[in-house]
Amino acid sequence: MSAWELYGEAAKTAVGFFWKAGWAFVLGYWVSAMIQAFVPKGRLTPHMGKADLKSVSLATVFGAASSSCSFAALAAARALVIKGAHFVAAVAFMFASTNLVIELGILIVIFLGWQFLAAELVGGLLLIGISSVLIKLTYPKRWFREAREIVEEQADDEDSDFNWRQRIRSRAGWDLVGHRFVSDWKMVWEEILIGFTIAGFVAVLVPPSLWEKIFLMGARGDIPEWLIVLENAAVAPFVAAATFIGSMGNIPLATVLNTNGVLFAGIMGFIYSDLMVPPLVMINAKYYGWRIALYIAAVMYVSIVITALAMHYLFGALGITPESSRRVEDVAQFALDYTFYMNVVFACLAAGLVWLHKRHHREAHSDMDHEMDNGIGPKRIIALLFLAVLLVGLVVYLLQGV
């Protein structure tokens, strides 16, 4: 393929990733908005305000019922912290909402196979358990007190003990949901755009030989197998971080790794690492400050490596280590499938939420949103440049098909 053909294909793949994950984004931020609008802090704290099994279990169930979108998972976890949830529960929620959800499981079965889904589910629970133990053992209390102060300052002023039954039946309550939905999107749209664009270009432009070098595939027989397994599990999170994409988008890239001979430990380590990509760490830093963001990333990294190794050797002992020949092109395609209909439905939902936000803004007579949009910072400029790269790339792709 020529350089222009590669450029067009990369842009099309990036947009395909957006297309595949679009409805999950809306679902996740809608859930986050409803948590913020309808869950009183005073009533949530007794259930998720401690670092105990009850809090972790409730957060796990809540996360599994949420969205598979990594960006939305962070927004929802922040909403829980604002309402009084413990950080152990918040991390459990993030892992559950990116590893134990139905739509992500469907993608894994379609593009990787049922063994990968089994590893995702069992590994997701193990990730939650390991991370909970690590945080309880290393919990920097002063840092987390300061982080909670940060998120509480970011939250709009409101009565923490409001009557949620009255609010959920009121027009003002649902207007507030729309307002929260739009506010969350305003905070992270640049990270989402940058991350997905980079992922599409990585999927197309990185040659198979590079994956083989990164994961020591050519060294098998020269290096002990256990060392290659450890290297795969340890390096995979950094590869995931380099792709800049989370949850839904890393499944096709995991397929690329699988078809290029990466070991099961490396593939699962890559899939588990959707919460460690730079845009997500940056969002956590925006929410809680850099110390807590890096601390959470470190806990996640250790938990991911241990879990990936455990799944590799467990599945090997059971004789069900999976192999798959499915291709990344299948994920980035545009077709009249369930993704199309889900995107149509959730696009309508997003439009309705934006309308509720505008009504809330109009009736509240607030100019806060205008203040948030004043000025164009470096990240906004980069995001707009990436948008231009995508648009030009799509034009190039379409012209090649004429």
Domain ranges of the chain: 13-361
Query: Does pLDDT of 176 surpass 80?
Result: yes
Dihedral (Cα; 186, 370, 389, 180), 10-degree rounding: 10
Quick one: pLDDT band at residue 279, thresholds 50, 70, 90?
A: confident
* pLDDT tens profile 338-379: 788 989 999 999 999 999 999 988 877 554 444 445 557 777
Beta bridge partners of 220: 223
Whether 255 and 328 have beta carbons less than 8 Å apart is answered as: yes
Per-residue model confidence (pLDDT) at position 369 = 47
CA atoms within 13 A on the CB side of 106: 11
Q: Tell me the percentage of the chain whose pLDDT exceeds 90.
A: 26
Angle at 73 between CA 67 and CA 77, to 5 degrees: 125
Dihedral (Cα; 84, 90, 92, 97), 10-degree rounding: 120
The count of residues in the chain is 402
Quick one: pLDDT band at residue 249, thresholds 50, 70, 90?
A: low
* pLDDT tens profile 50-81: 888 888 998 888 888 765 567 777 877 887 88
Quick one: pLDDT band at residue 300, thresholds 50, 70, 90?
A: very high
Q: Where are the alpha helices (DSSP H) in 112-224?
A: 114-138, 141-154, 164-168, 171-205, 208-214
Q: How far is CA 351 from CA 178, 340, 367, in A?
A: 10, 17, 21
Query: Does pLDDT of 49 surpass 50?
Result: yes
Q: Which residues 6+ apart lie within 8 Å of 204 measured at CB?
A: 6, 9, 10, 13
Flag whether the pTM goes above 0.85: no
Residue 227 tokens read as 């060392």
Per-residue model confidence (pLDDT) at position 258 = 82
Burial of 56 (0-12, 13-18, 19+ CB in 10 A): buried
Summarize the confidence of residues 92-97 as an average pLDDT: 88
Residue 38 tokens read as 């309808």
Query: Does pLDDT of 4 surpass 60?
Result: yes
Per-residue model confidence (pLDDT) at position 158 = 53
Per-residue model confidence (pLDDT) at position 154 = 63
Residue 322 main-chain phi, psi, to 5 deg: -80, 155
Per-residue model confidence (pLDDT) at position 370 = 47
DSSP string, 278-314: HHHHHHHHHHH-HHHHHHHHHHHHHHHHHHHHHHHHH
The conformational region for residue 375 under phi > 0 = left, psi -120 to 50 = alpha, else beta, is left
Distance, in Å, from the CA atom of 92 to the CA atom of 57, rounded to the nearest integer, reads 8
